[in-house]
Structure 1
Amino acid sequence: MTDVSVSAQNKSRRANPLKTLFIRVGVLPFFLAIALVVFSFMSSKFLTGQNLVNVARQSVYLVLVSLGQMLVLVSGGFDLSVGTAIALTSVVSALSMVWASGMFDSALMIITIGILAGGFTALLVGLINGVGVAYFEVSPFIMTLGVSSVGAGLALFMTGGIPISGLPFAFGDTFGFGRWLGIPVPVFIALICIAVMWVMMSRTPLGTRIYAVGGNIKAAHLSAIDTKKTLVLAYVLCSLIASLTGLLLTARVESGEANLGGTMALESIAACVIAGVSLRGGIGRVQNVVLGAFFIVMVQNGMNLARVSSYMQMVLLGALLILAVIFDQIRYRMMMR
């Protein structure tokens, strides 16, 4: 009877390759194919090599934030404060570098102080989120939304809404526009983060624990997994990756700004859900998330080339997220069958 059932499932998969693909990787391949066809017709410049390289370079920042967002989503939550972590990192690191410029002559020392200050600030953001969700059992939506509001207010208070200039030239020259082995430094850093994240999620006990907690937190607890510690680590790592993004963006614009990363929360969640990361937790692959972030930036690039207004781009991005969530529900029901 078992052999017959397995044979029937194999025949069903061969008969419905699109269904099998949808169950395994989600809606991303279908969205990607549609976007390539539509934007190719709308603009002759879309599929040129130069434009695709430009999209890859621009997607670095969203890729990084999406990797951190994936950690939290796989653990069964989500983080709406990644944009605030980026903004606070930008403001605090810039203020610290301006202060250190009057204390030290070494550019390396000044940049190091700024990086450490920005990273420590993001660490606090992630720690507050993690403790609130894990130990006080606050809803991830309420917890991260509240932290996002507080952090955004602090960033604006510290700057007065004015960009902070006077950063060391070496900071922007190295982390914003520098190259190493012919590869732009932001791209090089993103490649390292992707490799580290893939190893962590697929080859280490921490990755296994994060998947277990997101899949079934009660079963994970009964399996002697410290679920609270795992959740806190997921939120802390998410904020630290967002902090790295904030440093790279600060180096690119060469100033500390409180409005950096304003749309990153929505875009990173959209990239993850489109890439097949389940909102219920426990499901998600690093390589798919990278492709999902690339897809979001590619769609934005295609709309820019097609001269779609920025307001309509917001509408379309929100619609993409809604569609991705609907298809996630459909995919989950198909998997349960």
Structure 2
Amino acid sequence: MTAAASALTTVRSGRRSLRPLLYDYLLPVLLVAMVALFAVLEPQFVESSNLVNVARQSVFLLLITLGQMIVLIHAQLDLSVGATVAATSVLVATVTREVVPGASVAVGLLVGLGFGVAVGLVNGALVAFWRVPSFMATLGTTSILTGLALIVSNGAPVTGIPLKFSDVLGTGQVLGIPVPVVLGVVVMIIVAVLLGRARLGRDMYAVGGNPEAARAAGINVRRTVMIGFVLCSVLAAFAGVLLTARVGSGEASLGGSYVMLSIAAAVLGGTSLFGGEGKVWRVVVGVLFLGVLSNGMNLLHVSSYVQQLVIGTVLICAVGLERLRESL
């Protein structure tokens, strides 16, 4: 072997060893370092009540990001998740205040998840069958859902939600753990099993990695893409139901920030923007990173304007890190 060939082999070997370092270990290390920093700067950060609050607040973003990850695995993008949260919130609040309080939880969940299925079917049909770029399809859906939420609510919060609905899904606890956190963990496990063990999950990765090869292998690409969008919208709608229970009213303004945050958390967690790659545990770390960052800045009384700047910087860095991983 010539000296040049030996040097090239060494470089390639180094790049291969750097990829798992960036992919698996960098973000967890940064998360631990950030937790330590906030603990030093503000001792209140590590109090149990605050840690529970971080977990509770992170659940909503986790649900939406898991859905966004599923779509990104298909090399697609869903910009309607925030509007889905808002429309679900208004719809669920409007319906539950008209039913018997004892049935409000079941009715709210059925209405919310059913609405999520409907939105996902529309998005999936536009992308999979009409071949509309997912960016444009979901951007159009966002406008429709936002308008729907504003029309139904008349631009004002929808109040009068039964206390039972909020007590169970908003502030309820199971063995001292908030109900939203319990439900978030259950959903996380289900998604992990779906993507890691089920045939549907393998089909999703195959479609995202190379749709033509997946089609040649006998995978129904259109159906798989549609299922991905349905799952994404259902998870966003579920987050909308839990957020409605948490705030105690239907809000047309809920969910506005979740589009950017869900993409940032997914990409931070190693989900590829080009499809075919993404793991649930890495997405959980990405969500916790943003949740801890936001909570720590709030405790330190950082201006909301500065927080927006920081989150935007994190998103850019996440995309840059993704491009670096792809080049290795």
TM-score by length of 2: 0.91
Question: 1:210-289 residue pairs with structure 2 within 5 A?
Answer: 210-289=204-283
Structure 1: tracts of 5 or more residues without a match: 101-105
- Farther-moved stretch of structure 1 (120-129 vs 70-79): 120-129
1:35 aligns with 2:34: yes
Question: 1:6-155 residue pairs with structure 2 within 5 A?
Answer: 12=13, 20-22=20-22, 24-25=23-24, 27-36=26-35, 38-100=37-99, 106-155=100-149
SS in 1 for 2:117: helix
Structure 1 distance, partners of 2:95, 2:50, is: 36
Q: 1:299 aligns with which of 277, 293, 302?
A: 293
2:203/2:219 contact within 8 Å kept: yes
Deviation of 1:61 after TM superposition, in Å, equals: 0.9
Q: 1:179 aligns with which of 173, 180, 183?
A: 173
Structure 1 distance, partners of 2:112, 2:36, is: 42
Structure 2: tracts of 5 or more residues without a match: none
Structure 1 distance, partners of 2:97, 2:46, is: 42
Structure 2 distance, partners of 1:91, 1:217, is: 37
Structure 2 distance, partners of 1:320, 1:121, is: 32
Deviation of 1:311 after TM superposition, in Å, equals: 1.4
Aligned to 1:319: 313
Code of the aligned partner of 1:132: L
Moved over 6 A (4+): 8-11
SS in 2 for 1:256: coil
2:19/2:325 contact within 8 Å kept: no
Structure 2 distance, partners of 1:319, 1:123, is: 33
SS in 1 for 2:98: helix
SS in 2 for 1:46: helix
Deviation of 1:195 after TM superposition, in Å, equals: 0.8
Q: Deviations 1:189-234 (Å, cap 9, x if unpaired)?
A: 0111011111100000010011111111111111110000000000
Deviation of 1:52 after TM superposition, in Å, equals: 2.7
Aligned pairs, number: 323
Deviation of 1:38 after TM superposition, in Å, equals: 4.5
Aligned to 1:103: none
SS in 2 for 1:45: helix
Q: 1:308 aligns with which of 295, 302, 309?
A: 302
Structure 1 distance, partners of 2:264, 2:291, is: 11
Code of the aligned partner of 1:77: Q
Structure 2 distance, partners of 1:231, 1:200, is: 15
Deviation of 1:46 after TM superposition, in Å, equals: 3.0
Deviation of 1:237 after TM superposition, in Å, equals: 0.5
Q: Structure 2 vs 1, CA of residues 37 and 177 (structure 1 numbering), >3 Å: closer, same or farther?
A: closer
Structure 1 distance, partners of 2:310, 2:178, is: 30
Deviation of 1:111 after TM superposition, in Å, equals: 3.5
Structure 2 distance, partners of 1:188, 1:10, is: 46
Aligned-residue CA RMSD (Å): 2.3
